[in-house]
Amino acid sequence: MILITGGAGYIGSHCAINFLNAGYEIAVFDNLENGHIETINTLKTIGKVNFIKGDLKNREEIRNVFKTYNIDAVIHFAGYIEVTESVQNPSKYYRNNIIGSLNLFDAMVEFSVKYIVFSSTCSIYGDAKYTPINENHPINPINPYGKTKLIIENILEDYDKAYGIKSVCLRYFNAAGADSKIRLGETHSPETHLIPNILKSIFEEDKTFKIFGTDYNTPDGTCIRDYVNVEDLAQAHRLAYLYLQGNNKSDCFNLGSEKGTSVKEVFDTAKKITGKEIKYQNAPKRQGDTPILYADSSKARKILGWQANKTIEESIKSAYEWEKFLRQ
Ligand code: UDP
């Protein structure tokens, strides 16, 4: 059985669908602080899902999962993910993300579970020294969120040397879009991410989309990111699991579309796809944002056989369908 921590969250739940579609039975461990019980109910209509409501900060709760189920591998998403909040409240991030991960990894050691795929981030690279960013780019996270992810990668490296735990760290760029059958999508509260915030400004009278920073050193002055479809990301986790089984060795991979798209370009594309005028205003830069990030994913292509197949247009379209579905 595959254990997915944070499987009621955005990327975790799409990953859960991917494993269910491939015929795996899964256990989802989630405290439902940011995940949703409706997501679990949806997953249960797709395949065999064992849901355990629990918190990784509680050692016994995660140990019990390994006692109860025969876990072959772990896909680890659970953690806080907001850059701005991590700058304002680093204690929350270090405590939750690091201690939670340690409890999980220690349970893996205790119950002899060898394989883990870890949800890491391109934030560990910090300000881009060059683009596209490959895995050899200097590592220098500039916010506590990115630092927690890097510390967890470092812990995994040491747990491999000492205890033989094999890990694949997947360094995502910006996850985007929704399940293509619109059963699941992105629902954070509060929502901080670009595409859902643009789309919510269509539906919500009192919401005006804010462009954070218009004087970055980029062609149109707004930040450039690499938006990679969430179903493509989900697929990478299964390929990473198969890689661990086949090669029994740890590694890390950048996952991106390998295309940089500015905030303004995403906004214009959303207007085109939805056919709507979208309320917006220019706003100050957001703390902890770096101007340009986009991926070189050639290593994932070569070694995992993974590539981003869906375009940003497809991601915006499914995200729009999901926002409509939420309001039915
Ligand atoms: N952004 C924005 N307005 C928003 C949300 C995000 O201008 O309401 C910008 C943000 O400053 C960044 C980009 O969109 O440059 C992507 O932000 P997001 O939070 O989606 O992902 P991140 O890159 O922080 O992981």
Atom of ligand 1 nearest to the CA of 121: 25
Ligand 1 pocket check for 31: Cβ under 6 Å = no
**Ligand 1: centre distance to CA 145 (Å):** 14
Domain 2-177+228-256+298-303 is of which CATH architecture?
Answer: 3-Layer(aba) Sandwich (3.40)
In contact, 238 and 305? CB cutoff 8 Å: no
**Ligand 1: centre distance to CA 87 (Å):** 15
In contact, 286 and 84? CB cutoff 8 Å: yes
3-state secondary structure (DSSP) of residue 119: strand
Q: Give the mean pLDDT of the chain.
A: 96
Q: What residues contact 199, with CB distance under 8 A and at least 6 apart?
A: 270, 274, 316, 319, 320, 323
Asked if the peptide bond before residue 219 counts as cis, ω within 30 degrees of 0, the response is: no
Atom of ligand 1 nearest to the CA of 286: 11
In contact, 170 and 230? CB cutoff 8 Å: no
Does the pLDDT at position 187 exceed 90?
no
Ligand 1 pocket check for 223: Cβ under 6 Å = yes
248-253 mean pLDDT: 98
Closest C-alpha to ligand 1, atom 19: 193
Contacts by 58-63, CB closer than 8 A, 24 or more apart = 58/103, 59/103, 59/106, 59/107, 62/29, 62/103, 62/104, 62/107, 63/107, 63/110, 63/111
pLDDT for the residue 170: 98
Closest C-alpha to ligand 1, atom 10: 212
Closest C-alpha to ligand 1, atom 6: 194
* From the candidate CATH numbers 1.10.8.640, 3.40.50.10490, 3.90.25.10, 3.30.70.660, the one assigned to the domain spanning 194-224+259-294+311-326: 3.90.25.10
Asked if the peptide bond before residue 138 counts as cis, ω within 30 degrees of 0, the response is: no
Does the pLDDT at position 280 exceed 90?
yes
- Structural tokens at position 199: 């789309």
Probe residue for ligand 1, chosen from 124, 225, 264, 316 as the CB with the greatest number of ligand atoms within 8 Å:
225
279-287 mean pLDDT: 93
Taking the C-alpha atoms of residue 80 and residue 97, their distance in angstroms, rounded to an integer, is 7
Atom of ligand 1 nearest to the CA of 285: 11
Which of 145, 172, 294, 320 is the catalytic position? 145
289 — pLDDT class (breaks 50, 70, 90): confident
Ligand 1 pocket check for 225: Cβ under 6 Å = yes
Q: Beta strand 49-53 with 166-172: parallel, antiparallel or unpaired?
A: unpaired
Q: CATH 3.90.25.10 occupies which residues in the chain?
A: 194-224+259-294+311-326
Atom of ligand 1 nearest to the CA of 223: 15
Instruction: For residue 70, report the phi and psi dihedrals to the nearest 5 degrees.
Output: -90, 90
Does the pLDDT at position 287 exceed 90?
no
134 — pLDDT class (breaks 50, 70, 90): very high
Instruction: Identify whether 115 is a catalytic site residue.
Output: no
pLDDT for the residue 191: 87
**Ligand 1: centre distance to CA 242 (Å):** 32
User: Model confidence over 147-181: pLDDT tens digits?
Assistant: 999 999 999 999 999 999 999 999 999 999 999 99
Ordered strands of the 49-53 beta sheet: 49-53, 26-30, 2-5, 73-76, 115-121, 166-172, 251-255
Task: Centre a 10 Å sphere on the Cβ of residue 77 and count the other Cβ atoms it contains.
Answer: 25
> What SS3 string covers 168-232?
EEEEECEEECCCCCCCCCCCCCCCCCHHHHHHHHHHCCCCCEEEECCCCCCCCCCCEECEEEHHH
Q: Is 109 exposed, middle or buried, given 0-12, 13-18 or 19+ CB atoms closer than 10 A?
A: middle
pLDDT for the residue 255: 98
Does the pLDDT at position 288 exceed 80?
no
3-state secondary structure (DSSP) of residue 126: coil
Ligand 1 pocket check for 194: Cβ under 6 Å = yes
**Ligand 1: centre distance to CA 194 (Å):** 5
Helix (H) or strand (E) holding 71, with range, is none
pLDDT for the residue 45: 98
83-88 mean pLDDT: 90
Residue 110: what residue type?
E
Closest C-alpha to ligand 1, atom 18: 193
In contact, 9 and 184? CB cutoff 8 Å: no
Q: What residues contact 318, with CB distance under 8 A and at least 6 apart?
A: 177, 178, 179, 180, 182, 185, 229
Atom of ligand 1 nearest to the CA of 224: 15
